[in-house]
Structure 1
Amino acid sequence: MAALFGARVRRLRTAAGLTQAELGDRTHVVSTRITQIERASGAKPTLELARALDAALGADNLLVELWPYVYREAFPDWSRKFMEYAERAVVIRQYAAHVVPGLLQTEEYARAVLGLDALLDGEEQLEERVSARMARQERLGSPDRPELCVILDEAVLRRPIGGHAVMRKQLARLLGAAEGRHITVQVLPFDQGGHEAMGGSLTILFLPDGSEVAYTEGSDYGRLIEEPINVSRYKVIYDRLRAAALPPVMSLDMVRSAMEGNYRGANLPSRSDRRRLAQEQLQQSSGGRLRGGGRRVPRGRRPGP
């Protein structure tokens, strides 16, 4: 795909009567960078550069549309396949053990997280990965946006990745995202103890054709699960995590407390109250939906404007 991208750039540049140096000037990169792209050598182009090339060459979004496939080539087969599934999913359910999920990361937080990779090959590769992550977020604002349900381990809130300023902005982003009707954020407190997903993060994808896949991920590995019987097992694990997590309103109170620097300031419910709220959450599909605080809204009755 990188070779195809480079060939298209070279053909469009030649048709436009531009030298590599002239195209570099128009896209604000050195001519050797254009050479690397056309020869599919060196670092892959960032999304920003793909857009600049597209505009400079009048490619009518051809290069922008090719770019995701160029980027995915750097990933293993299972990872590329997961990314393809995620782009089509109508419902995404995630448990994040260590960091905020990529779909809800700010650019500064994403740069701090991705910059921790010990195998990162320089600043240009880092920017390439940040651009890709930000591009994947665009779907959350599109007409076909998925329903996104996220469970954050309390550790995600307590670890100030990138420093306190970056973390504060990231927590504010979580609060803002949770205002959307298609995004739900819950927090799994430390006092819930051990659970079946402690080894890493978990994602369940629900696809338009009714099929489902699961994906587990650690710091240096990922595993795509497609067998229905195994996907069902991970769905049960996710449901248990959701039942143990705080309801959305209480979860956002905890996020707000973390943003204000008071990690223990959130008003957590008692264990008995939490058990009752968990039962309501697990039963919501049969009796009506829940308000953010856990109280059931009977079918046929909805809050007024």
Structure 2
Amino acid sequence: MANVQNLDPTASPLDYYGWELRRHREAAGLKQGQLGEIIFCTGSLIGQIETTKKVPTRDFSERVDAALGTDGLFSRLVGLVLRSQLPSWFQPYAAMEAKATYISTYQAQLVYGLLQTEEYARAVLATGAPDDLDGLVAASLERQRILEREQPPLACVVVDEATLLRPIGGRDVMRRQLARLLEFTRHRWMHIQVLPNSAGEHASLAGSFNLLRFDDDPDIVYTEDVISGHMTASPEIVREAALRYAHLQAAALSVEESAALIARVMEERYGDRSQPEERTVA
């Protein structure tokens, strides 16, 4: 096991977190097992986090703050730690998304990341065979915290009907994911529409894209390919994306019709649990 005293706290947010956890634990005169008993985890987990073998969660950090009286230090640090676990190419977008006051997104394949359940996110992220799936899932869920603000960004989401029909994670996972979407339809700052298959050809057959707007910064368009993401503030591209998004919204079902379709798919496609699930792997 790596000696945490040899870690460079400036190497990464995760190294700094582990270094600070060890320093504050020892200052409190506690062994790893003793701290683990206080915050209801194993001493081994404490050691793994101190040596950067495990990524801390927000819940863990809040319990450490309460146990060690660190005035929210670890609750603040964990946000930086989790963001650093996102793919390096995605981190700039996540930082801009966290600053946005208005988000417009069209999703052709998957539920938008900010709206994913933990189970759905895990199934999606597992397809990339990451080295630390737990850490990546925790980072993905941390990204959703912007929706918990007193004034969250206004969000318009257009999802392709195919997204509702693709059984990511299996039937039960999809049922809970669609139920989550229905919960969001009741939020005044969230506007969810479904682009039905009957729409045929549409303004974004090329794929998904996000449009971010800010109070003081230029608008940004974000797209992804197989291995990376791309952001641009080019006025011409932003205008084209805004026009295409307007066409998508016009072709999509109304908010009320979309909620009804989501509910119907949830019950008719994923509601019958009497039959065993059939999973296929590409």
After superposition, the Cα gap between the structure-2 partners of 1:260 and 1:47, relative to the gap in structure 1 and judged at 3 Å, is same
Unaligned runs of 5+ in 2: 1-12, 271-282
1:172-183 equivalence runs, <5 A? 172-183=179-190
1:103-182 equivalence runs, <5 A? 103-117=114-128, 119-121=129-131, 125-182=132-189
After superposition, the Cα gap between the structure-2 partners of 1:252 and 1:77, relative to the gap in structure 1 and judged at 3 Å, is same
Q: Relative to structure 2, which stretch is displaced further, 59-68 or 15-24?
A: 15-24
CA contact (8 A) 1:150 1:185 kept: yes
Deviation at 1:262, TM superposition (A): 6.1
1:1-305 equivalence runs, <5 A? 1-39=13-51, 41-117=52-128, 119-121=129-131, 125-195=132-202, 197-261=204-268
CA contact (8 A) 1:46 1:127 kept: no
Measured in 2, the distance between the counterparts of 1:184 and 1:105 equals 15
Unaligned runs of 5+ in 1: 264-305
After superposition, the Cα gap between the structure-2 partners of 1:220 and 1:196, relative to the gap in structure 1 and judged at 3 Å, is farther
CA contact (8 A) 1:199 1:218 kept: no
Measured in 1, the distance between the counterparts of 2:240 and 2:88 equals 23
Letter in 1 for 2:62: R
CA-to-aligned-CA distance 1:268-295 (integer Å, 9 cap, x gap): xxxxxxxxxxxxxxxxxxxxxxxxxxxx
CA-to-aligned-CA distance 1:163-218 (integer Å, 9 cap, x gap): 22221222122122111211111111223334453344211111121521121124
CA-to-aligned-CA distance 1:27-75 (integer Å, 9 cap, x gap): 3444343334333x32322233222322222222111111121122233
Partner of 1:268: none
CA RMSD after TM alignment: 2.3
Letter in 2 for 1:35: G
CA contact (8 A) 1:212 1:231 kept: yes
Measured in 2, the distance between the counterparts of 1:137 and 1:157 equals 20
Measured in 2, the distance between the counterparts of 1:73 and 1:17 equals 30
Deviation at 1:152, TM superposition (A): 0.4
SS in structure 1 at match of 2:220? strand
SS in structure 2 at match of 1:73? helix
TM-score, length-scaled by structure 1:
0.76
Partner of 1:266: none
After superposition, the Cα gap between the structure-2 partners of 1:100 and 1:210, relative to the gap in structure 1 and judged at 3 Å, is same
After superposition, the Cα gap between the structure-2 partners of 1:36 and 1:107, relative to the gap in structure 1 and judged at 3 Å, is closer
CA contact (8 A) 1:85 1:207 kept: no
SS in structure 2 at match of 1:243? helix
